[in-house]
Structure 1
Amino acid sequence: MPYETAVHLHVDGAPFRAPHALANLVRLFAHWREPLREVLRTNPACRRLATLPEPLVAATNGTPTYAELRAAAAEGELTKYFDVNLTQLLTDTPVRDTVEIRILPGRIEAAPVVDRAALVELLLDRCLDPAPIPPAGTSRPCWNWPPRRWPGAADRPAGHAAAGCHPEPAAALPDRVTPAQLAVRPTVGGAGVG
């Protein structure tokens, strides 16, 4: 396997054109960068990864508009070579209307790739919720969030707080995260691995 190997996951960009979803996507990959890299086991040899530009991250404070996020991305000289490629969301003429997640490790076996893609899908579902994703250290991320599965607080499984936190910390996730452990369906509906 090549030394700098990685998997780039492309998902439909349309839902992330909503300002709250785009802001949450930025918050997720900026504020939770190290926990995400640890849980997903990002290849440390990958050189074409970086934290999102500070002007874009700063723009997510409060309730930014799409135009404000777009201006901040331009100010921060956003390119595709960050942990998440948002360039296709911030142009009027996208080549592919996708969000590209670039921090998944390369693997020869398909199962670990699909497992990590399922985890990313859950996190991206959380980005669609209007509530801002908090900075790391202020709460634990919820790995079982999908609103489409638990539409109301009464529908959440026992042990989940009102904010939707999973009782297990991220560090407890094993090397091979299975869909059963994440309580997700076995496919990665609509996500393409490439």
Structure 2
Amino acid sequence: MAINLDWKTGFEIELMAPAGASRRDLAERVATRVGGTVRRFFHPQSEPSAVEGRPVFENLTPGFRVEDGQGRWVASFVDDLTLQGDLDRERPPAEGWRRIVADDGRLLRLVERHCDPDAVGDGSLVPLAALFGTEIVRHPSGMVRVADDRGRSVAIDAPLPGERERPCEIVTAPIAVDHAGALAVLLADARALDFFVPVESATHVHFDAGPLCSPAAVAALVAMWTRHGAGLKRLVGSNARCVRLGDWPDDLAVLTRSARFAAMDWPAARRALAEIKGLAKYCDLNLVNLINARVDKHTVEVRVLPGTLEADEIVAAAALFEGLLGWCRDADGGEPVPGTLVELLIQAPMDQTARTLWLDRLRQENTAIASAPGPYSPSTTLSGDKT
């Protein structure tokens, strides 16, 4: 029996192209299937920097947006810098694949606005240099540098390192109905081209944040995940090799369980949440888009799901979290979090097929751990408490 989702959701599915292929190949296959087009764009990312005084480098890498014949966004196909283990870093850069690097994201937003992602060769930064009244400087290594009129570096355009054209994060448009069908055809296209699940892969689900815009819902979400997050990560099989996951700062729980927070209206609660230091995107559950109320991405993002090429697995996991978020949405601010995962899954407003599936998996996990030697017991497994 099919599992149905009621929440509008978007999905990010991390895959890897086979050697010799690229994410553009998948974008073109999808565009052909839907009778649409592929548009190349600058995809922003950040990565840690080893340069003193520069904690991150901001990147723009080639992304490919597919629209159908009516101009509606279907999905985008972008790089993900966390996917490394399946690549041969000694391979030379692929022809025509370049990235733009700066130490200030505001400069790259100028690049996005004024430069052409389809520029041939190494000339993409010419318009940026013109903004600063200078000329691009080419180096024998293949890099192109833009500096301001005082010689200070603005941005660098360089060949994309070996095989970085292969990582492919499929970013779907928001899906309101037939989630399984929409994902199934995308993943069938990926399998047809021999795309596979990389070793660091994860699947992210973005839930429309509108129903969770209340202090009571956010407080319930923080309390629920604080109590049961570790157990839920075990239940869904989070990938231990996935990076950019982690806990929220402790101040979040302190704030959301306070009487002061409960008495706030939503605008005041958003401002209080935004003041918490260390609350970032790279947590198990990403609340940053909820707090910032971005028009283009007003979501709560679940980041703990493992990578997969199976649409049914993704939808089943999304249904689990749809139920959990529904429990948070319906919380009145005084209802305690159920003490065990079994109780939580029973109480959550969830597709019944999904509920049965996850309760069965939870009981199987509990049986396996209870029968294994060690200091575990059924009560600790079902509670989901952190250990």
Match of 2:363 in 1: 172
1:48 is the counterpart of 2:244: yes
Counterpart Cα distance in 2 of 1:93 and 1:142: 30
How much does 1:30 deviate? 2.2
Partner of 1:143, secondary structure, is: helix
Q: How does 1:17-96 map to 2 (within 5 A)?
A: 17-63=213-259, 64=261, 65=264, 66=266, 67-68=268-269, 70-96=271-297
- Identity, % of aligned positions: 33
RMSD: 2.7
Which amino acid is the alignment partner of residue 38 of structure 1? R
* Number of corresponding residues: 155
Partner of 2:275, secondary structure, is: helix
1:34-77 residue CA offsets vs partner (Å, 9 max, x unmatched): 11101111111111001111101111224423435642453232
Counterpart Cα distance in 1 of 2:276 and 2:242: 25
Counterpart Cα distance in 2 of 1:139 and 1:59: 24
Q: 1:79, 1:85 within 8 Å by CA — same for their partners in 2?
A: yes
Q: Which has the higher contact order (CA 8 A, sep 6+)?
A: 1
Q: 2:217, 2:333 within 8 Å by CA — same for their partners in 1?
A: no
Question: Where does structure 2 lack aligned partners over 5 or more consecutive residues?
Answer: 1-196, 352-358, 366-387
1:25–1:94 Cα change, 3 Å: farther
Question: Which range moved further: 139-148 or 110-119?
Answer: 139-148
How much does 1:135 deviate? 5.6
User: Pick from 99, 106, 111: which aligns with 2:307?
Assistant: 106
Question: Which range moved further: 90-99 or 47-56?
Answer: 90-99
User: Pick from 345, 355, 373: which aligns with 1:143?
Assistant: 345
Counterpart Cα distance in 2 of 1:133 and 1:69: 22
1:8 is the counterpart of 2:190: no
Instruction: Judging by fraction of residues, say which structure has more strand.
Output: 2
1:70-96 residue CA offsets vs partner (Å, 9 max, x unmatched): 424532321110011111111254431
Q: 1:10, 1:100 within 8 Å by CA — same for their partners in 2?
A: yes
Bigger CA radius of gyration:
2
1:102–1:11 Cα change, 3 Å: same
